[in-house]
Amino acid sequence: MNATSPDMLPVPDFGARRRAALARLGGGVILLGAAPLQYASRDTEHAYVADRELYWLTGLTEPGTVAVLTGGEDARLVVFARERDAEAELWAGPRLGPEGAGALSGADEAFALADLDRRLPELLRSADRIHYRFGRGDTLEEQVLAALHHARARGARSGTGPRGVVDPGEILDELRLVKDAAELAAIRRACALTVEGHRRAAAAIGPGAGEWEIEAELEAAFRRGGATRPGFDSIVAGGANACVLHYVDNADRVPDGGLVLIDAGAELAFYHGDVTRTWPASGSFAPAQRDVYQLVQSALLAGVEAVRPGAAVDAVHDAVVRVLTRGLVDLGVLAGDVDGLLEAGAHKSFFPHQTSHWLGLDVHDPGDYVQDGASRALVPGMVLTVEPGLYFRPGLAEGVPEELVGTGVRVEDDVAVTPTGHEVLTAALPTEISAVEALVGARS
C-alpha cells in the first residue's frame, strides 16, 4: 500500500459532524445535492469532482446523490442515491445504490433517487427554514421549488412549514473552518505530497527548460505519491510570466538568468496542499533577484510568526505588508515614511492580493474573515496560507529600477493554528536562499 494512500488516513467521524450541524440547525432542514457532471465537449466528461459540503456531512461522493438532514425533534439523515444499473455501471463503474449509500453514510433512511419527488415535500413540511443553495439550475432545484410550494400551501392551514430558504454555508462554513483530527491528518499528507512535487519540479529547472516539462515533473510526483490530482491548475511561470498572478498556460521556455515561480498543490482524500516557491533558473539568484527574494522571504517569516490563537487574521496580512513596504523603500521602489505609505496602500501596486486564505476541502476554503465588523480571531484547528509576493510588471512599474522590471517573486507556506501557536505544514520545503539554490537542477 502506498505510504500516502487515503486508506491509511483516519476515518472521518461524519456522525460527529452531523451532530454539530444539528446543534445549529434548530427546526430547519439542510438539503445537499451532488455536484453535476461537467463536460469538455458533447459527451466527453471531465473527471468528476465531488461536492465538498455533501462529502463533509455524509462521506458520499457519487453523482446524483441527495442528502436531507432534518432538525428538531425528529432529527435524522435521509439520503437518496441512484439505483444499481448493470448497463450504466459497465461504462462508468459500480454504484453504491440506495442501500450502499445508506450504509456508508450512516443514514437513518435511504431511498432511490427516483423517490425524491414524492418524499421531499414531506421532509420539508415541518421545517422552519430550508438550507439550500440556489443557482444550480438543474432538476434538483426544480424539485426543491416544487416541494417548497407544496409545503407552504399546507403550512398556511397548520401554521407550520418553511418560511425561508438560506445558504447552507450559514451553518456548514463555520463548522468546516475548524478542522478535526482526521482533516488535519489529510491536509498534512497533502502538504507532504505537495512538497515532494515541488522538489521534483525544482530538479527539472534550468535555462531553456519548458514550463510544461517542469509542470509534468511536478504533477507526476503528486500522482506517484498517491495524490488524487493536482488541487488546482498548476502555475509554472518563468521570467515575466511570474507577474501574471494566475498564469496557467505553462507554454514558454525558462529564460536564462530568469526566475521560475511555481504555485501548485496536491489533492489527497479531497484535502489540499498549496505551496509557492520561486527558483533561480541558473541555480543562483542574481543580486537584484536576491534582494527581492530575501525581502519576500522575510515577509513570509513575519506573517507566519503572527499566526497564533487569539490573533486577528488581518494581523498576518498587516505583518507581511509592513515588511514589504519597508523593503520597497530600501530598494528605492517607494519613497516616504513607512506608516504613511501603509496608510496610503502604496504597496498594492506591487503586492495586490491578500496574504492568506483558508485551506481544506477547498483550496480556498469557506469561512468569513470578518465577524461583527472586526477581523476574525484565529483559533486552533484553522489552516491558512501565508503567501507574500512582489511583482514588478513590465509597463506598470514606473520608478522601478530597470534590473527589477519583469521580476515576480512569491513564497507561500501552509500553516495550522495550534493551541500554543502554529505549525508550518510545508516546512520541509526550505525557503532560505542557499537551500533553494541547492535544489535547482538537483536530480537524484
Residues 90-133: pLDDT tens digits?
Answer: 999 999 999 999 999 999 999 999 999 999 988 988 888 999 99
Q: H-helix or E-strand containing 263? A: strand 259-264
249 is catalytic: no
- Cα(353)–Cα(390) distance, integer angstroms: 10
Phi, psi (deg, nearest 5) at residue 192: -65, -40
- Cα(177)–Cα(381) distance, integer angstroms: 8
What was the pLDDT predicted at 160? 64
What was the pLDDT predicted at 399? 78
User: 353, 369, 403, 423: which is the annotated catalytic residue?
Assistant: 353
Per residue in 166-184, pLDDT tens?
999 999 999 999 999 999 9
The runs of H, that is alpha helices, within 130-180 are 139-158, 169-177
User: 198, 271, 391, 437: which is the annotated catalytic residue?
Assistant: 391
What was the pLDDT predicted at 228? 96
pTM: 0.95
User: 410, 413, 414, 422: which is the annotated catalytic residue?
Assistant: 410
* pLDDT band, very low/low/confident/very high, at 298 (cuts 50, 70, 90): very high
* pLDDT band, very low/low/confident/very high, at 1 (cuts 50, 70, 90): very low
Q: Which three cell numbers stand for residue 109?
A: 433512511
Query: What CATH homologous superfamily does 178-439 map to?
Result: Creatinase/methionine aminopeptidase superfamily (3.90.230.10)
131 is catalytic: no
What was the pLDDT predicted at 145? 86
Residue 378: name the closest of 431, 294, 305, 309 by CA: 309
43 is catalytic: yes
User: 196, 219, 412, 414: which is the annotated catalytic residue?
Assistant: 412
Report percent pLDDT > 90 for the chain. 84
What was the pLDDT predicted at 137? 77
**Cell 515532494, residue located:** 196
267 is catalytic: no
291 is catalytic: no
Strand partners, 109: 78
User: 43, 73, 87, 372: which is the annotated catalytic residue?
Assistant: 43
DSSP 390-426: EE--TTS-TT--GGGTT-EEE-BEEEEEETTEEEETT
CATH 1.10.40.50 fits 6-174, yes or no: no
274 is catalytic: yes
User: 246, 398, 402, 443: which is the annotated catalytic residue?
Assistant: 246
Per residue in 199-251, pLDDT tens?
999 999 999 999 999 999 999 999 999 999 999 999 999 999 999 999 999 99
Q: Which three cell numbers stand for residue 60?
A: 458520499
263 is catalytic: yes
- Cα(145)–Cα(78) distance, integer angstroms: 19
Where exactly does CATH 3.90.230.10 map onto the chain? 178-439
109 is catalytic: no
CB–CB of 230/266 below 8 Å? yes
User: 317, 357, 393, 422: which is the annotated catalytic residue?
Assistant: 357
Per residue in 400-429, pLDDT tens?
999 999 999 999 999 999 999 999 999 999
Where exactly does CATH 3.40.350.10 map onto the chain? 6-174
What was the pLDDT predicted at 3? 47
The pLDDT of residue 164 is above 90: no
Exposed/middle/buried for residue 395 (C-beta within 10 Å: 0-12, 13-18, 19+): exposed
The mean predicted confidence, pLDDT, of the chain is 94
- Cα(245)–Cα(263) distance, integer angstroms: 10
Query: Which amino acid is it at 40?
Result: A
User: 233, 364, 368, 432: which is the annotated catalytic residue?
Assistant: 364
Mean pLDDT of 31-57: 93
User: 62, 267, 291, 387: which is the annotated catalytic residue?
Assistant: 387
User: Which of helix, strand or coil describes residue 275?
Assistant: strand
Per residue in 122-147, pLDDT tens?
898 888 899 999 988 788 888 888 87
Mean pLDDT of 181-196: 98
Q: Which three cell numbers stand for residue 98?
A: 440506495
What was the pLDDT predicted at 442? 83
423 is catalytic: no
What was the pLDDT predicted at 273? 98
Task: Count the Cβ atoms, other than its own, within 10 Å of residue 200.
Answer: 22
The pLDDT of residue 385 is above 70: yes
Exposed/middle/buried for residue 426 (C-beta within 10 Å: 0-12, 13-18, 19+): buried
- Cα(255)–Cα(259) distance, integer angstroms: 8
The pLDDT of residue 4 is above 70: no
